[in-house]
Chain A
Amino acid sequence: MGEMKLFFGPNHPGLHGNFSVHMYVEGDTVIRARPVPGFLHRGFEKLMERRLWYQNLALIPRICVQEPDINEACYAMAIEKIAKVDVPERAQWIRMIVLELARIANHMWAFGGVGGPTGMYTSMYWSVSDRDKVLDLFEELSGARIYHMYIIPGGVRKDFPPHFEEKLVKLLDYIEGRLPEYETFVLKNRILHTRLRGIATIDTETCLKIGVTGIGLRATGVPYDIRKIAPYLFYDRVEFDVPTATEGDALARISLKPQEIRQSIRIIRQALEYMPSGPVNTKIADGNGLRIRVPKGMAYAKVESTRGEYGYLVVSDGEEKPYRVAVRGASYPQGLYGVEHLMPGTRIDDVPIWLDTMGVCAPEIDR
Chain B
Amino acid sequence: MSEKNERNERNEKNETKTLQKSFFAPLLGWKALFEKPVTIRVPKEKREAAPRYRGFHINDWEKCIGCGTCSRICPTDAITMVEVPDMKQEYGMKPQRPTIDYGRCSFCGMCVDICTTGSLQMTREYIFFSHDANDFYYAPTERGLLDKEPSEIKVGWTRDESSELLDLDRILPDAMESSERIDSFVEFVKAYSKEQAVAEAARCVECGICVDRCPQHMRIPEYIKSIWKDDLKDALKWLLKGDEEQSNLGANPLSGVCGRVCTHRCEEVCTISHRGEAVAIRWLKRYIVDNVPIEEWNDAVSFDTSKTDKKVAIVGSGPAGLSAGYFLASMGYDVNVYESMNRPGGVMRYGIPKYRLPDEALDKDIAFIEAMGVKILTGVAVGRDISFDELKNRYDAIFISTGLTLGRSTRVPGSDHPDVVQALPLLREIRDYLRGEGPEPKIAKRVVVIGGGNVAMDIARSLARLQKMKYGEVNVTLTCLERTYEEMPADLEEIEEAIEEGITINPGWGPKEVIFFPDEDKIKGLKCVKCVEVFDENKRFNPKYDESQVSYFDGDMIIEAIGQAPDYSYLPEEWKAKIQFVGPRILTNNLRQTQIPWLFAGGDIVNGPDIIHGIADGYWAARGIDEYLDSNGNVEK
Spell out A's residues near B (CB within 8 Å).
Answer: 51-52, 54-59, 122, 125-126, 129, 132, 136, 139-144, 147, 149, 155-159, 161, 181, 183-185, 187-193, 197, 221, 223, 241-247, 251-252, 255-256, 259, 279-281, 283, 285-291, 293
Contact = CB atoms under 8 A, between A and B. Distances in A.
B49 interface: yes
Interface string B161-200: 0110111000000000000000000000000000000110
25 contacts: A54-B165, A58-B76, A122-B32, A129-B38, A140-B51, A144-B54, A144-B107, A156-B162, A157-B162, A158-B162, A185-B26, A188-B20, A188-B21, A245-B17, A252-B18, A279-B162, A285-B202, A286-B199, A287-B167, A287-B201, A288-B166, A288-B203, A288-B204, A289-B166, A291-B228
B50 A59 contact: no
B362 interface: no
B19 A183 contact: yes
Contacts of B114: 288-290
Nearest to A256: B16
A158 B52 contact: yes
B21 A245 contact: no
A143 B54 contact: yes
Contacts of B85: none
A244 B16 contact: yes
Contacts of B32: 122, 125-126
Nearest to A247: B18
Given A187-B19, A243-B14, A246-B15, A281 B162 contact: yes
Interface string B36-74: 001000000000011111100000000000000100111
Interface in B6-43: 13-23, 25-26, 28-29, 32, 38
Contacts of B15: 221, 243-246
B167 A187 contact: no
A188 B22 CA distance: 5
Given A246-B15, A255-B19, A289-B110, A188 B25 contact: yes
Contacts of A189: 21-22, 25-26
A82 to B, nearest CB: 17
A181 B26 CA distance: 10
Interface size class of B (residues with CB under 8 A): 35 or more
Nearest to A252: B18
B162 A280 contact: yes
A232 to B, nearest CB: 21
B106 interface: yes
Nearest to A132: B38
A110 B354 CA distance: 75
A186 to B, nearest CB: 9
B108 A139 contact: no
A255 B19 CA distance: 8
Given A143-B54, A185-B26, 16 more contacts: A54-B110, A55-B110, A58-B75, A139-B49, A139-B52, A143-B109, A161-B51, A223-B14, A241-B14, A244-B15, A244-B16, A286-B199, A287-B202, A288-B165, A289-B166, A291-B201
B26 A190 contact: yes
B113 interface: yes
For the complex of A and B, 3 pairs with smallest distance between CB atoms: A287-B202, A289-B165, A286-B199
A259 B202 contact: no
A58 B108 contact: yes
Nearest to B114: A289
Contacts of A241: 14
Contacts of B110: 54-55, 57-58, 289
A353 B167 CA distance: 51
B149 interface: no
B157 interface: yes
A281 B164 CA distance: 10
B627 to A, nearest CB: 40
B380 to A, nearest CB: 50
Contact of A142 (B52, B122, B199, B205): B52
Contacts of B198: 286
A112 to B, nearest CB: 13
A162 to B, nearest CB: 9
Given A193-B21, A251-B18, A289-B113, A157 B163 contact: yes
B346 interface: no
Given A143-B53, A289-B110, A159 B162 contact: yes
Most buried by B among A54, A147, A181: A54
B203 A287 contact: yes
B156 interface: yes
A51 B75 contact: yes
Interface string B555-574: 00000000000000000000
Given A140-B50, A221-B15, A185 B162 contact: no
Contact of A243 (B16, B20, B26, B165): B16
A136 B110 CA distance: 21
A252 B203 CA distance: 55
A283 B156 CA distance: 25
Contacts of B16: 243-245, 252, 255-256, 259
Contacts of B201: 287, 291
A55 B73 contact: yes
A290 B52 contact: no
B86 interface: no
A157 B163 CA distance: 5
A245 B163 contact: no
Contacts of B205: 288, 290
Contacts of A191: 26
A184 B26 CA distance: 7
Contacts of A125: 32
A185 B28 contact: yes
Contacts of B53: 139, 143-144
Most buried by A among B28, B198, B228: B28
Contact of B156 (A59, A143, A279, A293): A143
Contacts of A161: 50-52
A119 to B, nearest CB: 12
B160 interface: yes
